[in-house]
Structure 1
Amino acid sequence: MSAAATRGSSIVSTAARRARVATSGGFAAQGFVYALLLTSLEQFKDRYGVGDGQITLVVLGVCALAALGTLVADRVARGRAGSRGALAAGLSVLVTAVAVVSAAPTFAVLVLGFAVYGLGLGLVDAGTNMQAVSVQRAYGRSLLTGFYAAWSVGGIAGAVLVSVTAGTVSLGPVAFVLWSGILVASLAAFLVAVAGWHRDRAAETAADTGADVAGRVPWGPVLLLGLGVVAYYVADTAVSTWSTIYLGDVLDATSRIAPLGYAAYLATTLVSRVAGDPLVRRHGRAAVVRVAAVVGAVGLTLVVVAPGTPVALLGFAVTGAGLGVIAPLCFSAAGALAPGHADAVVARLNVFNYVGAVLGGVLVGAIGSGSTLRAGFVVPVLLVVAVAVVAPRFGRRGTAAPGAGGSEALAGSAGPVTASGGTVRSTDEEVR
C-alpha cells in the first residue's frame, strides 16, 4: 500500500469513528422519541377522550407522511448535504413535532403534531440507515446490528421514563415529560451535523451524476429484502403501538405496568442486536433469520393466548429476542446491492418499513376495534412465520466472489462484493 493510501486510510478511519458515534446518537434519539410518543398513546386517549379508532387514524397518517419523508430524504441525500444533512434535518423536525404534541390543547393540534412527527420519522429512518451503511463500508466490517442496538437503548429509556412518570406527572397543560425528547433529538441533530459521515464525492462521481438508479439495482433481491422488512415492521409496530393499550385494556394492567410490555420487548431486542453480528458470522444470515423468525412467532403466540399480564410480558420479551436482528440484516444487505447508489437503495427499501407499519399499526388496530386486540396480534404471527419459511432464500454461507476486495468487501454478512444477474454475494452468504 502506498504512503498516500495509508494516509487516506488513516483519515477515513478517524472520520468513520466520529461518524459511528454520531450515527449511533441518531439511532438512539430516534428510538427515545419514538418510545416516548408511542407509549404515551394510552394517556393521550384519556386526555382527549378518544378511542382506538382515532388512534388508528393517527398511526395511519404518521405512516403515510413517513413514507413521504423517506422520499424527501432520498432527494436531500443526492445533494451536497448528503445523508448527513437528511438525518440532521429529520432530527430537527422531530424536535418541532415533540414540542407541538407536548403542548397540544386539542386533539386536532395533537394530530398536527403527529403529522409533523411522521415527516421527521421518515427522514430519520432513511437518514440513519444511509449513514449506517456508509460507516459500515468505511469500517470494512458488519456494524448494522450494533447501530440498531443503540436505537433499542434509546427506546428502552423512553418507555421506562413514561412508565415511572405515569400517574405522577400531569399531561396538562403541557406534557413536560416529552420535553426530554426535545433535548435528546436536539443534541443528536447537532452531533450528526458536526460529525456525521460525509461521503467522498470525488470517489463517487458516478453515483452523483443523477443517472437513473433503477436500471443498476437488482430488484429481485430488493423485493426479497422488502418482504423481510415488511414482516419485521408489522410485528414491531404492532408491539410498539398496541402493547401498552393491549395490556391496559384487555389484560387490565395498571398505568405503570402497561408500558413495560414495550420495554421488555426492547430489552430483549437489544440483546439480540448486540449478539447479531457474531451470530451471522458464525452461522450465516439464512440460519439467523430462520431462527429469529421462529422465536419471534413463538413470542407473539404467547401474547395472543396470554391469560394475564405476566404471560403477555413474557411473550413481548420473547418476541424481541427473536425479531431484533431481522431489520438491520435486511438494510445491511441492501447497502451491498448497488455500492455506488447505496443511499438510493436504502431509501427505496425503507419504504417497505411503512407498508409494514401500516399493517402492524393500522390493520392490527382495526381488527382490535372490531373485535379485540388479542385477535389483532394474530396478523404479525402469520407474517413472521412466512419469513421463517422463506429464510433459506436470504442466502447461504459461502465465499467472496471473484474480484471482490478493497472497499467493496466487508467482513461478515454485510459485505458487498458483486451485484450481477440479480444475485449479490457477500463474504458469508448470498442473497438471491
Structure 2
Amino acid sequence: MGKPRVLVVGTGFAGYHALRTLERVVPPDAVDLVAVNPADYLLYVPLLPEVAGGVLDPRRVAVPLRPKLPRTRLVQAHATGIDLEARTLSAVDVEGREQELAWDRVLITCGSVTRLMSVPGVAEHAHGFKSVAEAVYLRDHVLRQVELAELADDPVERRSRATFVVVGAGYTGTELVAQGVQLTREALRHRSGLSPDEVRWVLVDTASRVLPGLNERLSGPAERVLRSRGVDVRLRTSVASVSATCATLTDGGEIPTRTVVWCVGVRPDPLVESVDVRTLKGRVVVGQGLAVPGHPDVFAAGDVAAVPDVYNGGAPTPMTAQHAQRQGKLAGANLAASLGFGPARPYRHRDLGFVVDLGGGQAVADPLHVPLSGWPAKVVARGYHLLAMPGNRLRVATDWATDVLARRQVVRFGLVPEAGVRLSDADPPARRA
C-alpha cells in the first residue's frame, strides 16, 4: 500500500494554511499532499483595492505557492466534482483536459464566488471584484473613462463616463471607493479638460450604514472620510437594474454611468452542489473539528464551510479571511490527527477586530475592539496586513513607502480584455443565486 493521499481543493487562505500545517506536522514519507487550484499563487484579497487604486503592483498580492509549499504537488485545474463513494475528484486543467484524482482524505476549501442575486443587467454590464484580473481591468477602465469623458462634447456622455458606481458598502466596496477617488484625482492632475468636481463616485447599499457587517463604531468615521472626499453615499437603497449607460436604483432614481462595480457579497463555490453532503445556505455543514458528519475522511473550511461558532450560539462563522486562515490551520492539524499525528481540536476563535484602509492617511480599525481612526488606525491596518501576508512583505512595504514619498503612477495598459472578466462569463445564469 502506498502513502495516503491528502487532496486539498482550493489554495485560498484556508487551503494554503492547511497545507502549511500539514507540511510542518506530518513527516515527508508519511503522506502524499496534492492541491488542486486554477492558479499557482495565493491571492491576498484584502489588498485588491490598492491594486485597483494603483498603489500596489498586481504581483504584490499574488504569493507563489511552490516556494511556500515544497512538499505539495500542485495541479492547476478547476475542480468540477467530488465523488465521496469512489473517493475521486474530477477536474479540468488549464488546457481543457479532464482528469480524475483519487484521495484518502479530502479538504474542501474552494472558497466563494460573486453573488449576483439576479438583478437585470448586472451580469452583462457590471464589473466584479474578486481577482487580480478584475482589479487590473477596473483600474484601466476607470482611467479610460476619465480620458473619454475629457474628450466628450456631449454633456450627457461626459457626465456618465465621469460617474462611477460601487454597489455594496461592506469591507471591499468601502475600500474600493476610497481608493478610486484618489486614483481619479491623481489622473486629473495633468488634465485641463476635466475638473475634479465633474468626477463623481457613488456608493450604494441597502444597509443603514457603511460597513454594516463590522463594528458600528467603525461606520461613522469611515462614512465621514468618504463624504469629505465627495463620495455620494446612498444608503437604504440598491441597484434595481443596470444598462450600458445607466444604473437604476430601487428608490426609482437613475444614475447615468458607464461603470458599475458589484461588491454586494459572495456565496459558496458551486462545486459544493456536486458533493453529496448536507449544506446550510450553500455551505458544507461540518462539526467543530471541521470534519463532515458521517464522513470522517472529508473536511471543509473557509468560506465554503458552515463552521459552528461557539461564541455565537453555534451560528456559522462569517465568511472572512480571518476565520478562513485560522480554520485552515486547524483543518491541517485535524487532518494530521486523523492520520495519527497529533491531537484533534475543536474550532474556537474570537474576532480580534477588523481593519479598513481608506487610502492616504486614513483608516478605521478596532484591534481588540478598541476603535481607532486616522493615522493610528492606518499603522494598525498596514501592520496587520504585513503580519497576515504569507509572503511579499518587503515588496508591499516598499510600494507603500513609495506611495508616501512619490505620487502614484497613473498608467493604463489595457492588458486585460473585458471578455476575460465579464460577470456573465464567470458566473453563468444556471449558477446564479
Per the normalisation by structure 1, the TM-score is 0.24
Work out which of the two has the higher radius of gyration on C-alpha atoms and give 1 or 2.
2
In proportion to residue count, which structure has more strand?
2
Per the normalisation by structure 2, the TM-score is 0.24
In proportion to residue count, which structure has more helix?
1
